[in-house]
Structure 1
């Protein structure tokens, strides 16, 4: 793999993927829609930024045809709002079709919230999706669209992505710190369980998969430790040296996914990239 196209390169994960790929000597193009990539590799010109709305099928096909990548990492998404459905579902279909048309390997980023989290055990790749809220439903439909358009694509289901010491903070970490400092008021769910993954670990795993075309279909790539939202918030504050004693927990409201812990045993067997647990990354040792 020498040429890589990253959609959503202005985002937290997409920017990390692009940066690591450039450091590995790849030629990288990254797409953005409303926000330009802020990573140094784009500011220095080591990677090329391309403005693209993935909802526009013709524009997607044109960009992919121009770049002629060996692999495409599809990170672009919108969490909510009027553009979310089309961006996630139609955009994923357009990217998959364009990647297949030029013979590019596709790594599609999906989510643990394609599940309801009601099975009482870690979720495996062959468990049927059962989303309970709109974002999860859109991600589940995007998986279907990608698999139909490009059966060779790998569908990476992941969890809460965070930075940790020495890395940019994710929105999840920033929120926990703001609440602990009294700048925001909210409770963190004690019954919503996820497997947070460090952004560098996930980006490295994604790049490894981009170079391994034999892996296709769903693959769970997340941290090896399942924690509830309150525990994650406390760990994020601890790593930042912020007093977390004021954080409070509460049950999640109806219509939220619950225990979405992912079984990552297949990924651990396939990948050389380590998938560290959140405590290993965030817990202070001093």
Structure 2
């Protein structure tokens, strides 16, 4: 299985490349310096040069707050880049797996979001990701769009790393307690993507479309932070003595966040046989690595 992976230097991309290499799946890692997905000619040339069996798009503009002041950059990657990849894949009759986000929803409903629930993004990041999804749907029938949430891992910036850093610097932390979601480990996402890719390349595969995938159980950011600190505290002494729950209003950001980021993951289980991972197991494995 020859896999072309865009965003190969990102948080999820690095995990996909490493795991694919371990499994002798012939990954073709293309980071930002290797391929600018905002350039349609470069995208087409890369696919023609490498001739993969399938493409995985892990490239994204993920600076949620910065997108409010840099919309052109966000749309160039998240919408136009997705469109260019879908167009090139369609021309070569290649399937595409594309990562999207819970931020396409406004978080106002009380139940976990299903794939069929209407989008209502609160910020420009979410809008750009939704429009990227729509571009893929319009151009490429053989696609799998997988929405993930609250990604954390060894690489890049993420909530686990931030909380560990602050817990080493401060005696008191204040963390939002009225936003709920499912933390999802980057290496769990990588495992899921490779399993999905294997399914998609089977003869007669027909379960194309949109899926949700996130870690379980659902938690608030505050509860997630408490877990991170407690787990780290089993290995090292931390100065932090208090993790105070606060409402979103006390932590204003340029972009609004959905209060409910829970995703209903039944469809990916029923159709592709993939279960929700336990984020606590992943965090317990990751945190010691981040402390060393």
**Shorter-chain TM-score tier:** 0.7 to 0.9
Is structure 2 residue 246 aligned with structure 1 residue 250? yes
Conserved? CA contact 1:109–1:156, under 8 Å = yes
Conserved? CA contact 2:171–2:241, under 8 Å = no
Distance 1:152 1:31 in 2: 21
Distance 1:185 1:57 in 2: 48
Task: Report the equivalent of 1:189.
Answer: 176
Structure 1 residue ranges, 4+ long, deviating more than 4 angstroms after superposition: 167-170, 183-186
What is the CA distance between 1:88 and its match in structure 2?
0.7
Greater alpha carbon shift after TM alignment, 274-283 vs 203-212 = 274-283
What is the CA distance between 1:246 and its match in structure 2?
2.6
Task: Report the equivalent of 1:223.
Answer: 215
Is structure 2 residue 147 aligned with structure 1 residue 157? yes
* 1:167-190 per-position Cα deviation (integer Å, ceiling 9, x unaligned): 558521110112222269863211
Distance 1:184 1:203 in 2: 35
Uncovered stretches (5+) of structure 2, i.e. residues with no partner:
201-205, 286-292
RMSD in angstroms over aligned alpha carbons? 2.2
Relative to 1, partners in 2 of residues 1:142 and 1:54: Cα closer, same or farther, differing over 3 Å? same
Between the two proteins, the alignment pairs up a number of residues equal to 264
Task: Report the equivalent of 1:44.
Answer: none
Conserved? CA contact 1:187–1:248, under 8 Å = yes
Distance 1:159 1:57 in 2: 28
SS at match of 1:247: strand
Q: How does 1:75-86 map to 2 (within 5 A)?
A: 75-80=58-63, 81=66, 82=70, 83-86=73-76
* TM-score normalised by structure 2 residue count: 0.83
From 202, 226, 239, give the equivalent of 1:234: 226
Task: Report the equivalent of 1:13.
Answer: 12
Is structure 2 residue 94 aligned with structure 1 residue 98? no
Conserved? CA contact 1:116–1:257, under 8 Å = yes
Greater per-residue helix proportion:
2
* 1:60-108 per-position Cα deviation (integer Å, ceiling 9, x unaligned): 1100111111111101011234322211110011111112222222110
Task: Report the equivalent of 2:267.
Answer: 266
From 195, 199, 209, give the equivalent of 2:186: 199
Conserved? CA contact 1:205–1:271, under 8 Å = no
Distance 2:207 2:230 in 1: 37
Relative to 1, partners in 2 of residues 1:185 and 1:11: Cα closer, same or farther, differing over 3 Å? farther
What is the CA distance between 1:162 and its match in structure 2?
2.1
- Higher RCO (Cα < 8 Å, 6 or more apart): 2
Distance 2:75 2:228 in 1: 30
Relative to 1, partners in 2 of residues 1:132 and 1:186: Cα closer, same or farther, differing over 3 Å? farther
Greater alpha carbon shift after TM alignment, 259-268 vs 73-82 = 73-82
Distance 2:222 2:229 in 1: 11
* TM-score normalised by structure 1 residue count: 0.85
Greater alpha carbon shift after TM alignment, 208-217 vs 65-74 = 208-217
